[in-house]
Amino acid sequence: MIGDYEGFRSGFACFVGRPNAGKSTLTNAVVGEKIAITSNRPQTTRHAIRGIVHRSDGQLVIVDTPGLHRPRTLLGQRLNDLVRTTWAEVDVIGLCVPANEAVGTGDRFIATELAALRRTPKLAVVTKTDLVSPSRLAEQLTAVAELGAETGIEWADVVPVSATTGDRVGLVTELLLAQLPEGPPLYPDGELTDEPEETLIAELVREAALEGVRDELPHSIAVVVEEMIPREDRPEDRPLLDIHASLYVERDSQKAIVIGHKGSRLRDVGTKARHQIERLLGTPVYLDLHVKVAKDWQRDPKQLGRLGF
């Protein structure tokens, strides 16, 4: 098999960094499709969603991890465990540090953890370069190089990137690919992610629900897709997919926020999510959303399990 793939590299990479360091946006830019949900609120990603980059010289599978943070709840702890498990399994790690924020204790905390993974090559990726001046960027690149020296990491490379403008996204892909082992592709051509559709749909609904409620409930929403069934009696050229999903919050007051005045917010969430889901699936969708209260689910192991964590 290897003979057919002379010089072909394939393997797993992941971007890590503190919450809101631009990991999901960069994942989407590298894969070229929206597969990881993005939000300007930290801690949006909850699942290790994989994006697959197919090239003539290699296949790069990107695992998108939640931001590592000091956990305050059982959910927080489980998310951190997920991050560490992911790190241990990939071929190369990109540590994302935003260009517009000073290197801080959060970055040091993560770099120290990464330093323990001696055999895995590490790339330092300075994100959001479009938000700073060239001189500020130069200072940040130096600071990130020093962070490596300080924690005992020898960076395979330090690279600035802007996922928003696309600047040097291609270079990041090249540098990650270069660190992968030689071997045949891991996924069939044309696949972009190996996540089940339900997971992606639940994430798109959650992203739409988080928009506009700024800091009120970033962690308190979980979404479960209860069922997806093609509508019967539809002509073949006009299919319709019925999707029923539940949004779980922790308190009645949060339920009121998500539903909004006379249901206006929930309708809005449904419309936004439906457009994204239709783009993802390439088929018209009827999306039915219900908001339910699962008291303090982030601290309850039973409920966490039921909601997929």
Q: Which domains does the chain have, with CATH numbers?
A: 9-179 (3.40.50.300), 197-307 (3.30.300.20)
Kindly state the average pLDDT of the residues 269-295.
Answer: 88
Least confident of 60-64, 133-137, 169-173, 251-255: 60-64
pLDDT of 37 > 70? The answer is no
- 238-242 LR contacts (CB < 8 Å, sep 24+): 238/284, 239/283, 239/284, 240/283, 240/284, 240/285, 240/286, 241/281, 241/283, 241/284, 241/285, 241/286, 242/285, 242/286, 242/288
Q: Is 133 annotated as a binding residue?
A: no
Q: Is 21 annotated as a binding residue?
A: yes
Which residues are within 8 A (CB) of 136 and not within 5 positions of it... i.e. 6 or more apart? 99, 100
Please give the distance of CA 6 from its chain centroid, rounded to a whole number: 32
Q: Is 80 annotated as a binding residue?
A: no
Separation CA 121–CA 19 (nearest Å) = 22
Q: Is 130 annotated as a binding residue?
A: yes
The pLDDT score that the predictor gives to residue 46 is 46
Q: Is 142 annotated as a binding residue?
A: no
Q: Is 129 annotated as a binding residue?
A: yes
Q: Is 128 annotated as a binding residue?
A: yes
- In this prediction the pTM is 0.60
Q: Is 64 annotated as a binding residue?
A: yes
**Residue found under tokens 């943070």:** 69
Kindly state the average pLDDT of the residues 286-297.
Answer: 90
Q: Is 127 annotated as a binding residue?
A: yes
Model confidence at 64, in pLDDT bands (50, 70, 90)?
Answer: low
Q: Is 71 annotated as a binding residue?
A: no
Model confidence at 204, in pLDDT bands (50, 70, 90)?
Answer: confident
CB neighbours of residue 231 within 10 Å? 13
- CA dihedral of 86, 87, 88, 89, whole degrees rounded to 10: 50
Q: Is 17 annotated as a binding residue?
A: yes
